Amino acid sequence: MILVNDLKPGSTFLDENNIYIVLDINRNKSARGQMIIKVKVKNLRSGVTTELSYTAGDKVEQIYLDKRSMVYLYDDGDMIVFMDNENYEQVSIPRVRLKWELNFLVPDKTATITYYQNEVLGIELPAKVSLKVSETADAVKGDTVTRATKDAVLETGLKLRVPLFIEQDEMIVVKTDTGEYDSRA
């Protein structure tokens, strides 16, 4: 058990059979009352972000997550299949739990799978990934007054805005937190 006063961003804990990771924490101490601790958390089972309130001295069960590096094999329609290169164990994760992550996953690339007591919670993406531009329009002459951009579709199906000099079949670096163009690969 850990005091909620000791929680910090990145901490994981179990509360009412839900697994949470702390995103932000806010402590509010008034002159007469007990300290109120508001914790912005993400439920790792459902993916929902919420805010929990505790009073100083409350305790939650601290947990530790296991992380394994696995290779993305294929998408069978309902499940996304990964394989551990060390023991060749395959893990299937429901497609609906990885909607955002699928924008950055390409077969034969490595991803980090997060576990809690043999329960697969999800995957962690690197901060940036390199992806191939599968479709983009040609640049229009005269569109260079400001930082001009155009639409592009990546090999994963992600649609984003890229600078005019990016062409089809070119590799670009994309930020996985926002889905925005970062640079050429």
Q: For 134-156, what is each residue's pLDDT tens digit?
A: 888 876 666 556 677 888 888 88
Out of 2.30.30.30, 3.40.50.300, 2.130.10.10, 3.20.130.10, select the CATH number for domain 2-62.
2.30.30.30
The pLDDT value recorded for residue 51 is 92
Whole-angstrom Cα distance, residue 22 to residue 167?
40
Fold held by 66-124: OB fold (Dihydrolipoamide Acetyltransferase, E2P) (2.40.50)
Whole-angstrom Cα distance, residue 19 to residue 64?
10
| Predicted TM-score (pTM) of this structure | 0.70
Determine the CATH number of domain 128-184.
2.40.50.140
Length of the chain: 185
Stretch 84-107: mean pLDDT? 86
Q: How confident is the model at residue 35 (pLDDT cuts 50, 70, 90)?
A: confident
Boundaries of every domain in the chain: 2-62, 66-124, 128-184
Mean pLDDT of the chain: 85
